Amino acid sequence: MKNIRIICAVLLTTFAMVACKEDFPVDEDGLLITTRTQCYVSNFELLGSDLQTVRTSNAVIDTTAQTVTVEVFYGTDLKNVYPQFTLVTDAKLEPKITGKTDFSDLANPKQYTVVSGNRQIRKTYKVNITVQKP
């Protein structure tokens, strides 16, 4: 009788562990991994330290060449701007944007990688910034 109780306890524990198993895989950031393979930037914004746009016009996003080109107002402090990307559904951006970013080295554009929802496709975008003529 004691053995039956032990076997039942082991079986119940095993079933409970299997039942609690996550049905949806997540990545290291806790984001859901999906089957989506699309991987692109759909919009880009650049904000100054006052959280107002510093763009003179809409950013030009070339998904084939994987570039984002944006002109900023003359006098913009490019050491303290906040980039904001809008990505296709379920994609994520690397490196993560955690606050102010220094874009002052115009000769060496910043690069960000868009990772698809299934985490299999990676596309690196260059962010080219020009400053409006005075």
Domain formed by 24-131, architecture: Sandwich (2.60)
Query: For residue range 1-40, what is the model confidence (pLDDT) as tens digits?
Result: 665 666 656 656 655 555 445 577 998 988 999 999 999 9
CA-based radius of gyration for the chain: 23
Q: Which two tokens stand for residue 65?
A: 């060449």
Query: For residue range 60-111, what is the model confidence (pLDDT) as tens digits?
Result: 999 999 999 999 999 999 999 999 999 999 999 999 999 999 999 999 999 9
Lowest mean pLDDT among 17-21, 77-81, 117-121, 127-131: 17-21
> What pLDDT, on a 0 to 100 scale, did the predictor assign at position 117?
96
Whole-structure pTM value: 0.80
> What pLDDT, on a 0 to 100 scale, did the predictor assign at position 9?
61
The residues spanned by each domain of the chain are 24-131
The secondary structure of residue 102, as a DSSP letter, is -
